[in-house]
Amino acid sequence: MADKLIIFDTTLRDGEQSPGASMTRDEKLRIARQLERLKVDVIEAGFAASSNGDFECIKAIADAVRGSSICSLARANDRDIARAAEALKNAERARIHIFLATSALHMEKKLRMTPDQVYEQAQQAVRFARNLAADIEFSPEDGYRSDVDFLCRVLEAVIQAGATTINVPDTVGYAIPELYGDFIRTLRERIPNSDKAIWSVHCHNDLGMAVANSLAGVKIGGARQVECTINGLGERAGNCSLEEVVMAVKTRQDYFGLELGIDTRHILATSRLVSQTTGFVVQPNKAVVGANAFAHTSGIHQDGVLKARDTYEIMRAEDVGWSANKIVLGKLSGRNAFKQRLQELNVHMESESEINSAFARFKELADRKNEIFDEDIVALINEESIAHVRDAYSFVSLSQHSETGERPQASIVFTANGQEVRSSSEGNGPVDASLKAIEAHVKSGAEMVLYSVNAISGSTESQGEVTVRLQNNGRIVNGVGADPDIVVASAKAYLSALNKLQSKVDRVVAQGWP
Ligand code: KIV
Ligand code: ZN
């Protein structure tokens, strides 16, 4: 086979570490199925030992997903590794990913271990894991800031112990492309058994260079696996973005000369699903998946593109899932047309009854909005699937009054555990009044740390997509709501965030958490 670049997606593990991005089991399963459709080679589904909830998510994904290898993270100890193996036991292909910090700073201050202890523990963990799985990845956490001689010693030993992939994380996003590429190359050149493992890059985006560093690790360093997340999701400034790294390698095949297994036509739908599930909005000018990524507004560019697309377009929008046909359906459109549009958008629904309920929601929306764009359909489907899993609070209706010089008022009807609730309030604006009306009944006491509105399809006729981030008792959650009326979208987003706050999360943030 031609030289292949393995795409390792860690949206469900490293991506989930973003504030408020934690996902339920059903949400993770839905994203995993979408990643399978995208044909990612490896899905890192979570960190089995971190919580019972994460264990169950990994298990559900390992049971259901077939096309991709399923991976669990584990610290370098027998308990974590056994737990990972247990969660993965029904996977078609299972990988255990062991990490242990190797930088002087992390060993001394965080682990309180000597280099010799780390050296011993790393080997012993890999040896133990090899009895439970054939595919073992080892990551020296904070590897890029580690002493190169020590790192060579540890990595040689873990390859000897049976590690099949060696991943070199730039945990804190400190690297510079050329230096990171050279670092990987040096390790591969100096370690005598380096050819017995696949080399992998894992870059964080603190200096905005995660994609550039990863590509340098591939081109200069000879890495053949990239670890990345959809939309670059991840704590702080995020991880290397899957869509950017994949489209760079594909578009510049002439330079990289590498094969990819990814079906890029599913990129946009995956990006939308992750954004709507986590509440992390994609900025309009984001490469590949941002609303403006293929929009030409300057007259010169438009003229050029009409004469010959490649004057200003280096990728085809259709190749990443954008549709050329923007206005799709209206209230006279039937179920078949709707179903066909879902197929063209690469939106997968599990059953006919799911299609029926999505079609009913589509009809409701079409009654209120003349033109239904692709973006509206994707938002509606995602909202529908997310709503299924959290039903403590659910929106029913809202009325509000605002007039210049008057204090706005809102009255809202919603259900709380199946009971209808009516509540009213005034506020600084109609959104504020509506959310205060909800809070007057729920009394969550949560603090709002983010509120953002985004026009789904770019005009005032568009649906507004609202993200609300709430913080309460040390937990942060994001809620998302979409509606042509942004006050309603805001109320839906607020209720969705309250639902998330209600759901139990039992993750243990343990010593050594990356
Ligand atoms: O950033 C990091 O170091 C990690 C490792 C666990 C791979 O996420
Ligand atoms: Zn990471």
CA 329, 331, 335, 336 dihedral sign is negative
Tokens 């049976």 found at: 162
CA of 141 to the centre of ligand 1 (A): 6
Q: Considering only residues 328 and 208, tell me which one the structure prediction assigns the higher pLDDT.
A: 208
* Residues 262/230, Cβ–Cβ less than 8 Å: no
- Looking at residue 510, its pLDDT comes to 42
Q: Which amino acid is at 156?
A: E
Closest atom of ligand 1 to CA, residue 141: 3
pLDDT (average), residues 143-161 = 98
Question: pLDDT band at residue 63, thresholds of 50, 70 and 90?
Answer: very high
Ligand 1 contact, 408 CB (< 6 A): no
CA of 10 to the centre of ligand 2 (A): 8
- In tens, the pLDDT along 464-482 reads 889 999 999 888 888 989 9
Task: Verify whether ligand 1 is closer than 6 Å to residue 99 (CB atom).
Answer: yes
pLDDT for 339 equals 86
What residue owns the CA closest to ligand 1's atom 1?
171
User: What pLDDT score was predicted for residue 346?
Assistant: 67
What residue ranges do the domains of the chain occupy?
Answer: 6-278, 317-387, 393-502
DSSP letters spanning 378-404: HHHHHHHHHHHH--SEEEEEEEEE--T
pLDDT at 348: 74
**Residue 308: how many CA atoms within 13 Å on its side-chain side?**
2
Ligand closest to CA 513 = 1
Domain 393-502 has CATH 3.40.50.2000: no
CA distances (Å), origin 220, targets 55, 179, 217 = 37, 9, 6
How large a percentage of the chain has pLDDT more than 70?
Answer: 93
pTM to 2 decimals? Answer: 0.86
pLDDT tens-digit map of 276-329: 899 998 988 999 999 889 876 666 776 777 778 788 889 999 999 987 655 568
276, 382 contact by CB (below 8 A): yes
Q: Is the pLDDT of residue 254 over 80?
A: yes
CB 168 within 8 Å of CB 204: no
CA of 270 to the centre of ligand 1 (A): 23
Confidence band of 507 (pLDDT split at 50, 70, 90): very low
* Pair of tokens at residue 292: 């403006």
Choose among 363, 487, 15: nearest CA to 204.
15
pLDDT value of position 284: 87
Task: Name 218's Cβ contacts closer than 8 Å, sequence gap at least 6.
Answer: 5, 201, 224, 226, 249, 256, 258
Q: Is the dihedral of CA 47, 53, 58, 61 positive or negative?
A: negative
The fold adopted by the segment(s) 6-278 is TIM Barrel (3.20.20)
Cα distances (angstroms) measured from residue 81 to each of 46, 108, 124, 141, 308:
13, 23, 11, 17, 55
Short-list 93, 191, 74, 178, CA closest to 133 = 93
